[in-house]
């Protein structure tokens, strides 16, 4: 049964009515449904991440994922000449499990590196910041929670990373009508929210397809073809690039290259909603109680990054990345452990899930560099 948050439904309805055209872009709708400061999905107490929640992420599967990421971070620190101040910036930290796994492992295995780390969490949801602070109570002196506005331009030296952040950004929905690029808007009808199609709200949508070098629309796309454009991802990259003085940006998420993303056969786009561990494609159900996401266009991040002066250092799939960081060794070591049979099966299953090519293992992993050693093969991208 669908459960809408009454408050967020009223807030979005009022916002649409206050708009002179009586409609808002889908990106505005998604932003309110997910991030309204009180009643959005991520700001309410409804957000559930984990095997019993609405969705789970790599860090829901135990400590391996965070520990393997540490192997990449230490490699970056070494390549950068072991600076005595290293900013490790986690963007979109969810419940805080990844930060906990990373810091716990660093403290024990790489104490020298741990010493020089300044761990910053950039998190949009006040509710999740509270949950993170409760979980990470042992590391409160090591972590600072900050908004981007408090971080000076070109001040960060180190690595800014995110896991499943970009897929949670509000997207514009676009479509093809009479062979032309049009935008999908949200309006209010007697039966609830309804989509209407009209001219695009911003030329940035056209510019986006030029950026990713996709000729959209053209005759190979069918009338009514729908897809999404994540302009917020470009704004975000611009911001991170501005704050970074020297170092790397590591982005892990589900997604495709632009050619695959905007393939004529993908005529309904990639938008998905997650509610109590089931997914569907109706963002007007369970409003404020469900996650809404879309896949990431990695070509956009790469091409826009180049325009900003970033260098593409590596792009691969999570399975390859984690194997290069030592996941295979962890599987081997399971033979010599003290687990009981149930624990052994659970851990082996978790490791396999992280590299399952049809699931988490198929995620994209992109690393971009700024003013940092570029002709390097980072450990997670070294497959020899
Ligand atoms: C899908 S969850 C992923 C959480 C976590 N990284 C994980 O792997 O479990 C997305 C996270 O990004 C946060 N978020 C979304 N937009 C953000 C933004 N613009 N800046 C910072 N955090 C953001 C959400 O509040 C949430 O914590």
Is 195 exposed, middle or buried, given 0-12, 13-18 or 19+ CB atoms closer than 10 A?
middle
Has residue 88 got a pLDDT over 90?
Answer: yes
Q: How far is the CA of 151 from the centre of ligand 1 (A)?
A: 18
Tens-digit pLDDT profile for residues 131-147: 999 999 999 999 999 99
The pair of three-digit structure tokens given for residue 293, joined into one six-digit string: 């996401």
The pair of three-digit structure tokens given for residue 202, joined into one six-digit string: 């911003």
Closest atom of ligand 1 relative to the 148 alpha carbon? 20
Has residue 2 got a pLDDT over 60?
Answer: no
Has residue 27 got a pLDDT over 60?
Answer: yes
Tens-digit pLDDT profile for residues 277-308: 788 999 999 999 999 999 999 999 999 999 99
Non-local (6+) Cβ contacts of 249 within 8 A are 159, 160, 161, 237, 240, 241, 305, 310, 367, 368, 369, 370
The pair of three-digit structure tokens given for residue 362, joined into one six-digit string: 């198929």
Q: Ligand 1: which of 168, 253, 277 to mutate, most ligand atoms within 8 Å of CB?
A: 168
Nearest CA to ligand 1 atom 10: 165
Q: What pLDDT score was predicted for residue 339? A: 77
CB 325 within 8 Å of CB 58: no
Tens-digit pLDDT profile for residues 170-226: 999 999 999 999 999 999 999 999 999 999 999 999 999 999 999 999 999 999 999
Q: How far apart are CA 312 and CA 315, in angstroms?
A: 8
Q: What pLDDT score was predicted for residue 343? A: 86
What are the structural domains, with CATH classification, of the chain?
6-374 (3.40.50.12710)
Is 353 exposed, middle or buried, given 0-12, 13-18 or 19+ CB atoms closer than 10 A?
middle
The pair of three-digit structure tokens given for residue 254, joined into one six-digit string: 């589900």
Whether the full predicted model's pTM is greater than 0.75, yes or no, is: yes
Q: What pLDDT score was predicted for residue 3? A: 67
Report CA torsion sign: 284, 288, 289, 292.
positive
Q: What pLDDT score was predicted for residue 173? A: 98
């Amino acid at each position: 049964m669908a459960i809408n948050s009454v408050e967020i439904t009223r807030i979005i309805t009022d916002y649409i009515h206050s708009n002179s055209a009586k409609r808002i872009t889908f990106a505005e709708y998604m932003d309110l449904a997910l991030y309204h400061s009180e009643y959005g999905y991520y700001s309410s107490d409804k957000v559930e991440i984990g095997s019993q929640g609405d969705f789970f992420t790599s860090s829901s599967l135990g400590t391996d994922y965070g520990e393997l990421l540490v192997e990449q971070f230490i490699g970056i620190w070494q390549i950068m000449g072991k600076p005595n101040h290293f900013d490790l910036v986690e963007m979109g930290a969810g419940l805080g499990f990844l930060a906990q796994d990373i810091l716990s492992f660093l403290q024990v295995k790489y104490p020298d590196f741990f010493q020089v780390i300044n761990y910053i969490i950039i998190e949009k949801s006040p509710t999740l910041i509270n949950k993170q602070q409760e979980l990470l109570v042992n590391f409160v002196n090591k972590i600072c929670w900050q908004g981007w506005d408090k971080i000076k331009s070109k001040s960060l030296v180190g690595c800014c990373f995110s896991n499943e952040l970009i897929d949670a950004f509000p997207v514009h929905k676009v479509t093809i009508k009479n062979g032309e690029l049009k935008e999908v808007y949200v309006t209010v009808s007697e039966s609830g929210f309804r989509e209407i199609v009209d001219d695009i709200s911003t030329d940035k949508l056209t510019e986006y397809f030029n950026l990713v070098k996709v000729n959209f629309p053209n005759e190979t796309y069918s009338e009514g073809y729908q897809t999404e454009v994540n302009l917020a991802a470009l704004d975000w990259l611009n911001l991170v690039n501005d704050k970074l003085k020297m170092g790397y940006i590591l982005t892990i998420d589900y997604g495709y290259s632009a050619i695959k993303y905007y393939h004529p056969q993908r005529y309904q786009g990639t938008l998905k909603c997650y509610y109590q561990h089931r997914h569907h494609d109706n963002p007007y159900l369970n409003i404020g109680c469900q996650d809404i996401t879309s896949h990431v266009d990695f070509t956009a991040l790469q091409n826009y990054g180049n325009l900003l002066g970033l260098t593409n250092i590596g792009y691969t799939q999570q399975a390859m990345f984690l194997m290069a960081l030592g996941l295979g060794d962890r599987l081997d070591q399971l033979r010599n452990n003290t687990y009981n049979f149930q624990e052994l099966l659970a851990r082996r299953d978790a490791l396999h899930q992280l590299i399952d090519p049809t699931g988490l293992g198929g995620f994209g992993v992109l690393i971009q560099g700024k003013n940092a050693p570029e002709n390097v093969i980072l450990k997670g991208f070294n497959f020899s």
